[in-house]
């Protein structure tokens, strides 16, 4: 599996690079390295803070208890095999994650983990530390929003 | 007699050796086929897709293989009738019932003819069906998952070769007896063949998932019913079957079945059969047969079916006619318009083509030359539309293109012969290597054939690949049929013995592929949907391990309190929810294969430990950088020991 995954990651990265070449000059694609490589891998300040993926920065507002309850069930089924609230397991503890990362970053990490762990410097650091890649558990954006709400409750 | 046969075999082998020597020593560029432009025609760049999915029967492997065309790359083996240790098919608790038959659980069969489901005579990409030749069965494979989901047995039959050949709206699959037998079975002398042996032609309902069964059967004389194809367009409602051994020989058939100048193509009017069933003109016969059904997430279940509606031609006038056809016909193929029925008379010097229109007129005019068991035999001249001269030696099978051409394989002369359907004249021919059986044009037996590629499915391989000891992979050859002249493009090896194949444009099915099973939809009784549900439960001597797998650990991965004499069920749910992340499970000493568990699915391995000790298990499918760490232990204590049942992960 890993070999295939690695290959598909490579192909994905190559595709991104390739498509970036034909893209608009003013809007660099995610992962583009056509300019001189830097420590931030060419990411914008917004991407560095809020992650790479479908979710733009947003204010989550007051905690919605019903949404958090749905998030708890999703977390149990899709996430709890690897993450606990306190203490390292397969992945990092998530009890304080909403203090460490922005809401959009958390959702982008859930929804777009492959690109995050290969492109985003913070996610790459976590991958290097924990070694097991964050899997894509195929949550919808609504599901990811519910999981975020559950995490905000912790 | 024996000596005579031996001489014949020696002569045959000598001929083959000679032919082989000639072929080996005189390989010209023309013989080897292909050139630089052929290489470009089959080149699919890395990361790019093929144009067609091609489904090749696995023959004596009992499976179905899937190749990309034009590259000839093997992309999948779908286990069907044979156990497949690679993914646990037929070994794990979920799938082993799929191999149940009324004779018991059978680990093997011989799979010959893939047939894609059709709508309005065009392959629609919902399912592919395939027959089991030895213990008569038909399987349905879902083309969103490439998994076998249903297998139904055919009762009162033997040698299920003329199968499954589908009707144009997937109403029925057919089945027939290549080996006539006493029906129902009874203890009789084999020499009483003519008196006691009979054949059946069966129609199996195909269009309702989980409900395949035998709609009705037709009792026919004790000949060998060999290959079939359904009518289409104007001939929709009919199905055609080649027969041989109208001599009704029961020994040394290679000689004794070839005495007469003509055998028959049987034309069956299945709409008429439906009327006879509706009117009660059939006999209710005793029959007992099984149907095995598996949905995506559950256990395969076996259902007992019974009874047969047996139609006798003398009680259902017009249900079947015999069309005299030279000589021991093998293939029977219907052109895209539904008008022409081509008989591949494997010992004939000409290729006979019957006309459906003329057949209807002959029936109307009662142009009969005789009647056999209530079945009128039509006059050859009254039904024959034309005879193709010089169609090669040993013509077997015919497919069609989109330009009014037919392509026929010639087994003895090892060639594909192209001829014009309207004029019955040969327009081109190409040698193939060697001894071609079936051929396949994508859509080539449907109402909408394509016109770009043809695959020759060759029976003899000899010198086409690096030699690999006595057994060689069979060889398929891809031929460009887009121009006036056929051009050889590619050799590619195939698994088992592909008999027939079918292909469909990639875009018809590639976007419908299931990538994983949602945990929310998992209905397996022993599934867990979260690591928090994993546990071990004892029920007498049976121990059920509710286990989860995710990159890269099992839960639980330490289990104690198992005793010698226990039967341990590992029910493993793969909690991944992404594409292409299966996990495996192998248990040291388990008398079974591994499990291979798709994301969101549950599979069960049974292990009966024989001796005290601590036994490791591990994940077999390389899943992450820490895959090697995906392992665990089970402690086995003596029978009656008081080791408590405990289990955990990460504590």
pLDDT single digits (tens) B218-268: 999 999 999 999 999 999 999 999 999 999 988 988 888 888 889 999 999
Q: A106 near A148, Cβ under 8 Å?
A: yes
The predicted pLDDT at position B358 comes to 98
Range of the domain at A149: 45-153
Architecture of the domain delimited by B55-512: 7 Propeller (2.130)
Q: Please, what's the b/e burial string for B152-165 (b: 16 or more CB within 10 A of its CB; e: otherwise)?
A: bbbbbbbbbbbbbb
Q: Which two tokens stand for residue B372?
A: 């056999």
**Bridge partners, residue B323, by sequence:** B265
Q: Does residue A7 lie within any of the structural domains?
A: no
**H/E stretch holding B282:** none
Q: Does residue A11 lie within any of the structural domains?
A: no
pLDDT single digits (tens) B612-643: 999 999 999 999 888 999 999 999 999 999 99
pLDDT single digits (tens) B590-608: 999 999 999 999 999 999 9
Chain A residues touching B622 at Cβ < 8 A: 1-3
Give the one of B551, B626, B627 whose C-beta lies nearest to A135's C-beta.
B551
CA distance B92 to A101: 44
Give percent of chain B above pLDDT 70: 95
Secondary structure class of B558 (helix, strand, coil): strand
pLDDT single digits (tens) B466-485: 999 999 999 999 999 999 99
Give the one of A11, A78, A133 whose C-beta lies nearest to B551's C-beta.
A133
Q: What does each C-alpha distance from B442 to B52, B111, B235 come to in angstroms? A: 8, 20, 21
The predicted pLDDT at position B35 comes to 72
Peptide bond between residue B549 and the one before it cis (omega within 30 degrees of 0): no
pLDDT single digits (tens) A123-146: 999 999 998 899 999 999 999 999
Q: What does each C-alpha distance from B373 to A75, B219, B320, B369 come to in angstroms? A: 70, 9, 11, 14
CA distance B68 to B57: 14
The predicted pLDDT at position B295 comes to 85
Q: B210 near B270, Cβ under 8 Å?
A: no
Q: Which CATH number fits domain B519-648: 2.60.40.420, 3.40.50.720, 3.30.465.10, 3.30.530.20?
A: 2.60.40.420
DSSP per position, B9-75:
HHHHHHHHHHHHHHHHHT--HHHH---HHHHHHH---TTPPPSEEEEEE-BTT-SEEEEEETTTEEE
Give the one of B520, B555, B581 whose C-beta lies nearest to A1's C-beta.
B581
User: Phi first, then psi: what are they for A119, rounded to 5°?
Assistant: -125, -40
Closest by CA position to B333, among listed B244, B399, B391, B410: B399
CB atoms B624 and A89 under 8 Å: no
Task: Write the CATH number for A55.
Answer: 1.10.760.10
Q: B481 near B407, Cβ under 8 Å?
A: yes
Closest by CA position to B267, among listed B306, B305, B235, B244: B235
The predicted pLDDT at position A23 comes to 34
Q: Does residue A26 lie within any of the structural domains?
A: no
Chain B residues touching A137 at Cβ < 8 A: 576-578
Task: Inform me whether the C-beta atom of residue B43 falls under 8 Å from chain A C-beta atoms.
Answer: no
CA distance B395 to B412: 8
- Residue A74 Cα, gap to closest chain B Cα (Å): 10
Give chain A's domain count: 1
Secondary structure class of B584 (helix, strand, coil): strand
The predicted pLDDT at position B398 comes to 98
pLDDT single digits (tens) A63-109: 999 999 999 999 999 999 999 999 999 999 999 999 999 999 999 99
CA distance B513 to B44: 21
Q: Which two tokens stand for residue B257?
A: 């079945």
CA distance B114 to B55: 7
Q: Does residue A130 lie within any of the structural domains?
A: yes
Secondary structure class of B208 (helix, strand, coil): coil
The predicted pLDDT at position B5 comes to 42
The predicted pLDDT at position B34 comes to 64
Q: Where are the domains positioned within chain B?
A: 55-512, 519-648
Q: Which two tokens stand for residue B632?
A: 């665990």
pLDDT bucket at B4, cuts 50 / 70 / 90: very low
Greatest CA separation for chain B: 88
CB atoms B650 and A89 under 8 Å: yes
CA distance B97 to B248: 37
**Quick one: CA dihedral B387, B389, B392, B394, positive or negative?**
positive
CA distance B64 to B51: 19
Q: Please, what's the b/e burial string for A90-129 (b: 16 or more CB within 10 A of its CB; e: otherwise)?
A: bbbebeebbeebbbbbbbbbbbbbbbbbbbbebbeebbee
Rg (CA), chain B: 27
- Residue A43 Cα, gap to closest chain B Cα (Å): 26
Give the one of B516, B575, B622 whose C-beta lies nearest to A2's C-beta.
B622
Q: Please, what's the b/e burial string for B595-619 (b: 16 or more CB within 10 A of its CB; e: otherwise)?
A: bbbbbbbbbbbbbebeebeebebbb
The predicted pLDDT at position A5 comes to 44
Nearest chain A residue to B555 by CA distance is: A81
The predicted pLDDT at position B296 comes to 78
Complex ipTM value: 0.76
Q: B630 near B623, Cβ under 8 Å?
A: yes
Q: Which of B575, B597, B602, B629 is the mutation pick for testing A, counting most A CBs within 10 A?
A: B575
Q: A97 near A140, Cβ under 8 Å?
A: no
């Amino acid at each position: 599996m890993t070999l295939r995954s690695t290959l598909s990651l490579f192909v994905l990265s190559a595709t991104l690079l390739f498509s970036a070449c034909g893209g608009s000059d003013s809007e660099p694609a995610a992962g583009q390295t056509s300019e001189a490589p830097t420590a931030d891998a060419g990411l914008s300040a917004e991407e560095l803070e809020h992650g790479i993926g479908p979710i733009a920065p947003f204010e989550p507002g007051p905690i919605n208890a019903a949404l958090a309850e749905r998030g708890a069930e999703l977390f149990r089924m899709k996430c709890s095999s690897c993450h606990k609230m306190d203490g390292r397991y397969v992945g990092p503890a998530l009890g304080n994650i909403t203090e460490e990362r922005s809401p959009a970053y958390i959702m982008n990490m859930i929804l777009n983990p492959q690109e995050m762990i290969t492109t985003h410097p913070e996610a790459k650091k976590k991958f290097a530390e924990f070694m097991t890649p964050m899997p894509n558990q195929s949550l919808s954006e609504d599901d990811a929003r519910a999981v975020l709400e559950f995490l905000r409750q912790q | 007699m024996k000596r005579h046969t031996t001489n014949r075999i020696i002569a045959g082998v000598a001929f083959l050796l000679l032919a082989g020597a000639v072929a080996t020593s005189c390989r010209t560029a023309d013989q080897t086929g292909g050139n630089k432009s052929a290489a470009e025609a089959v080149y699919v760049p890395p990361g790019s897709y093929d144009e067609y999915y091609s489904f090749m029967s696995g023959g004596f492997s009992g499976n179905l293989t899937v190749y990309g065309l034009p590259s000839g790359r093997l992309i999948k083996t779908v286990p069907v009738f044979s156990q497949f240790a690679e993914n646990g098919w037929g070994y794990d608790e979920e799938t082993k019932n799929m191999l149940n038959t009324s004779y018991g659980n059978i680990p093997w069969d011989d799979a010959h003819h893939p047939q894609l489901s059709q709508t309005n005579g065009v392959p629609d990409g919902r399912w592919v069906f395939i027959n089991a030749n030895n213990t008569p069965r038909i399987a349905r494979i879902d083309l969103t998952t490439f998994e076998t989901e249903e297998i139904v047995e055919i009762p009162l039959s033997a040698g299920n070769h003329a199968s499954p050949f589908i009707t144009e709206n997937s109403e029925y699959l057919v089945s027939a007896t290549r080996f006539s037998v006493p029906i129902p079975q009874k203890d009789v002398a084999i020499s009483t063949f003519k008196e006691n042996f009979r054949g059946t032609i069966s129609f199996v309902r195909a269009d309702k998932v989980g409900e395949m069964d035998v709609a009705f059967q037709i009792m026919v004389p004790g000949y060998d019913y060999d290959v079939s194809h359904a009518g289409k367009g104007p001939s929709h409602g009919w199905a055609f079957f080649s027969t041989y051994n109208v001599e009704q020989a029961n020994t040394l058939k290679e000689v004794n079945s070839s005495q007469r100048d003509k055998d028959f193509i049987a034309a069956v009017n299945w709409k008429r059969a439906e009327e006879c069933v509706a009117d009660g003109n059939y006999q209710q016969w005793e029959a007992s047969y099984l149907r095995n059904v598996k949905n995506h997430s559950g256990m395969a279940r076996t259902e007992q079916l019974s009874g047969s509606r047996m139609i006798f031609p003398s009680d259902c006038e017009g249900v079947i006619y015999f069309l005299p056809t030279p000589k021991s016909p093998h293939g029977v193929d219907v052109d895209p318009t539904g008008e022409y029925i081509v008989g591949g008379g494997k010992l004939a010097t000409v290729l006979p083509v019957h006309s459906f229109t003329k057949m209807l007129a002959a029936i109307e005019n009662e142009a009969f030359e005789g009647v056999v068991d209530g079945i009128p035999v039509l006059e050859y001249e009254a039904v024959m539309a034309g005879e193709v001269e010089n169609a090669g030696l040993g013509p077997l099978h015919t497919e069609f293109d989109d330009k009014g051409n037919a392509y026929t394989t010639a087994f003895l002369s090892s060639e594909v012969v192209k001829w014009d359907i309207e004029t019955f004249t040969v327009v081109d021919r190409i040698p193939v290597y060697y001894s071609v059986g079936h051929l396949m044009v994508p859509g080539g037996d449907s109402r909408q054939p394509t016109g770009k590629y043809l695959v020759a499915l060759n029976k003899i391989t000899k010198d086409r690949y690096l030699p690999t000891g006595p057994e060689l992979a069979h060889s398929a050859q891809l031929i460009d049929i887009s121009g006036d002249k056929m051009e050889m493009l590619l050799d590619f090896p195939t698994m088992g013995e592909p008999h027939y194949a079918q292909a469909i444009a990639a875009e018809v099915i590639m976007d419908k592929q299931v990538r994983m099973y949602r945990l929310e939809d998992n209905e397996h009784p022993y599934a867990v949907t979260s690591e928090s549900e994993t546990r071990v439960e004892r029920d007498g001597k049976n121990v059920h391990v509710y286990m989860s797998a995710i990159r890269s650990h099992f839960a639980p991965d330490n289990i104690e309190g198992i005793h010698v004499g226990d039967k341990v069920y590992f029910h493993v749910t793969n909690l991944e929810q992404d594409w292409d992340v299966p996990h495996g499970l192998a248990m040291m000493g388990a008398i079974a294969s591994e499990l291979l568990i798709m994301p969101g699915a549950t599979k069960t391995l049974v292990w009966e430990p024989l001796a005290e000790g601590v036994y490791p298990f591990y994940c077999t499918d390389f899943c992450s950088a820490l895959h090697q760490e995906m392992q665990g232990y089970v402690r086995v204590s003596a029978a009656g020991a008081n080791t408590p049942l405990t289990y955990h992960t990460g504590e």
